[in-house]
Amino acid sequence: MSSFFSNANLSIYARPDRVAAVISSDKHKPPMSPLLLLLLPLLLATANGKTTAVAFVTAAAAAVRDDDGGGGGPSAPSSSPVPPATPPWPEQFHAVVITNLSAHGGGGGLQLIDLYYDWPRGRDLNIVRDQLSGEPQWNVEWTNGTAFLFDAASCATFQFAVGLLPPDWKSRAGAAYLGRDRVDGFDCHVWSNFVFARYYEDVATGRPVSWTFNGMQRHVLSFEAGAVLQDSSKWQAPAYCFIDSNGGSSANAAAWSS
């Protein structure tokens, strides 16, 4: 929702020509699909990259305003007082999220994401399937700001000055309550912060309904509080993520193998 995290027309994530600005080590494998680059990172929060994050959210909010002006997007939320209770996210959950990539120059088609959020272990995983595609794409993010973005043939590693969005982000500095709006048929509280230009939460249940990140609207099809992906191999980046440009082992290999 992470993921959380990663997905749009804004900043470097939808601009493959600018990816070098954040890649700490781009492996010797072939370059990845531009759609995969839209995924990084779904669940990033500001820790000590405040200036960059503020600029990021400003641009994301501008993208939302542009979308609203063109019709088809959610309306501006109605003004209302901050709800008395702001329940945190579950510390672990699984969400199935869908995006229509035809909007905002995303390249067309649909994208389905299985998002696993695991705060106690300091990680989240996005399993990304593009419409009528074969193998899924994987994005593993860690609380220290390290992320691995890979498919069956290629891998890129990223290092950010920010980590995962904490469960209580709505109660922290930088979060803003924007009021209420009706989205996807649900009466929603609307929030924003350094990650989300708009985050829509069902008033009745507190479950996420939708969010706007990097100008793209993502819709939550299902949400399972407490769900955990038990298969540890799914969290492990492949060996070729740890091979440096000279063919040797990366210094990160020991730190991220399990």
What pLDDT digit, counting tens, does each position of 31-52 carry? 333 333 333 333 333 333 332 3
Q: Is 197 exposed, middle or buried (0-12, 13-18, 19+ CB in 10 A)?
A: buried
Q: What proportion of the chain, given as a percentage, has pLDDT over 70?
A: 62
pLDDT digits (tens, 9 = 90+) for 94-134: 999 999 888 766 678 899 999 999 999 999 999 999 999 88
Burial 81-113 (b: 16+ CB within 10 A, else e): eeeeebeebbbbbbbebebbbebbebeeeebbb
Residue whose C-alpha is closest to residue 130's, from 158, 146, 153, 106: 106
Task: For residue 155, give the 3-state DSSP assignment.
Answer: strand
Q: Is 7 part of any domain?
A: no
Q: How far apart are CA 99 and CA 50, in angstroms?
A: 27
Banded model confidence at residue 206, pLDDT cuts 50, 70, 90: very high
Predicted confidence at residue 170, as pLDDT, reads 93
Q: Is 50 part of any domain?
A: no
Q: Is 103 part of any domain?
A: yes
Q: How many domains does the chain have?
A: 1
Q: Is 150 part of any domain?
A: yes
Rounded to the nearest integer, the mean pLDDT of the chain is 72
Give me the phi and psi of 41, to 5 degrees please. Answer: -110, 140
Contact partners, residue 147, CB within 8 Å, separation at least 6: 40, 41, 139, 140, 141, 157, 158, 159, 160
Interval 206-231 mean pLDDT: 93
* Amino acid making up residue 139: N
Q: How far apart are CA 180 and CA 81, in angstroms?
A: 9
* Amino acid making up residue 94: H
Q: Is 24 part of any domain?
A: no
pLDDT digits (tens, 9 = 90+) for 176-186: 999 999 999 99
Q: How far apart are CA 152 and CA 103, in angstroms?
A: 27
- pTM as predicted: 0.69
Predicted confidence at residue 56, as pLDDT, reads 33
Q: Is 147 part of any domain?
A: yes
Contact 181, 77 (CB under 8 A): yes
Other C-beta atoms lying within 10 Å of the C-beta of residue 118: 19
Q: Is 133 part of any domain?
A: yes
- Domain span including residue 153: 92-173+211-242
Q: Is 96 part of any domain?
A: yes
Residue 135 CA to its chain's centroid (Å): 20
Interval 230-254 mean pLDDT: 72
